[in-house]
Amino acid sequence: MIRPLNNNVVLKKEKIENKTASGIILSKTEEEPEYAVVVAVGEGIKKDNGELIPMNVKVGDKVIYKSYSPTKVKISSEDYLIVSQDDILAVIE
């Protein structure tokens, strides 16, 4: 598994199925939001005085992130994304 450092977060992108309740597959007409599930978080950022600023997200959170920011990694045939916590825009509740 990947252990992110500082304020980095490891995400696993979820696949979105574009189909109606009756099973009709819809074509992509506009850009889909980039969202994923948090699988690992770093410890946070340490200030100059040694105080640790904790992370705002936790493992299992579903988040929306900036599409241009992730670093893509493949480990054991699984695709992961590594982003800075600052590039996470929202948590979906």
d(CA 30, CA 22): 21
pLDDT for 14 equals: 76
- The domain locations on the chain are 8-92
pLDDT for 23 equals: 67
What is the Rg, in whole angstroms, of the alpha carbon atoms belonging to the chain? Answer: 16
pLDDT for 47 equals: 82
Say which residues have a Cβ less than 8 Å from residue 59's Cβ, sequence separation at least 6. Answer: 38, 39, 40, 41
Total Cβ atoms within 10 A of residue 68: 7
Overall residue count recorded for the chain in this entry? 93
| Sequential pLDDT tens for the chain (93 residues) | 789 999 999 999 876 666 666 766 666 555 566 889 999 999 998 888 888 888 999 999 999 999 888 999 999 899 999 999 999 999 998
Q: What is the CATH number of domain 8-92?
A: 2.30.33.40
d(CA 80, CA 71): 8
**Angle, vertex CA 75, rays to CA 36 and CA 59, nearest 5:** 35
pLDDT for 50 equals: 81
Total Cβ atoms within 10 A of residue 13: 15
pLDDT for 91 equals: 95
